[in-house]
Amino acid sequence: MLGRQRDAYLAHVTVERGLSTNTVAAYRRDLDRYAAFLDSRGVDDLARATASDVAAFAEAIGTGSDGRRALAPASSSRTVIAVRGWHRFAVLEGWTQQDPAAGVKPRAVPKRLPKAISTDQIGAILDAAGTGEGVAPLRDRALLELVYATGARISEAVGLDVDDVVLEPGEESVLLRGKGRKERIVPLGGYAAREIGAYLVRARAPLAQAGRGTPALFLNARGGRLSRQSAWTILRAAAERAGVEGVSPHTLRHSFATHLLSGGADVRVVQELLGHASVTTTQIYTLVTRDSLREVYAATHPRAR
């Protein structure tokens, strides 16, 4: 019973809410763990679950008392959100009259300031990505230039097709598809537009010859769409060559947002460019720029100390 109810809910969030494949896969793992927990307590139907069952599960995933790995606050919070959504869906479907998860709150996730690097470090990484012989450096430079120029997630960048990019002078832009397949058009800077143009003219066709034909913008050596893992490897290798440490798949995106706000961009414009559903998500970047302002003020104002 629980298995059928889980599959129905996952189908709902996939089709009706448009959640990404990765999010749905995470929800499946979360709900499988919850279903196993309920089964260990003799509960084989959501209609029989109680508030104490949900509360006990929320405690168990944080401590590992259910015999599995304890989850970090962010993962624990996501799991509780998945469970709450499942129970809410059960009420809407008429499987049960009560929602035992309504009063169970996700764990508070401490705010972590996004990791941004300087413009000089960005330049060093981009230069390092374009070094070497053959077509791969042209692709790698174009990919990372695009990510930094647009604030795209790595998954959004590798998901691009050739037709999603406009390189007409004065119209340079890219169509990005974010979480829930929500689309946004983001301007392309001159550097990124030139590097993408060079890649399309000199490198994409040789890469495509190894494949069977795909509309994907960024291709691997076999002529297929470049994967997220490969894109992350490209970034990591370029960062190592540039001598920049602590670079993650989101570093260029975080730096994009931080540098825009530091330059005076309005937070709501940055929200739109990043594809955030709420400005609250974007405002964490303003904490970084405030810290920078304080440092500059303390170092330069004659009456700061």
Where in the sequence numbering do the catalytic residues fall?
Answer: 153, 179, 250, 253, 276, 285
Q: CB burial class (10 A; 0-12, 13-18, 19+) of residue 161?
A: middle
Instruction: State whether the Cα torsion 156-157-158-159 is positive or negative.
Output: positive
**Contact criterion met (CB below 8 Å) for 159 and 134:** no
Instruction: Indicate the length of the chain as a whole number.
Output: 305
Kind and range of the H or E run holding 175 = strand 173-177
Q: Left, alpha or beta for 109 (phi > 0: left; psi -120 to 50: alpha)? A: beta
Q: Residue type for 220, please?
A: N
Q: Would you give the DSSP letter of residue 187? A: E
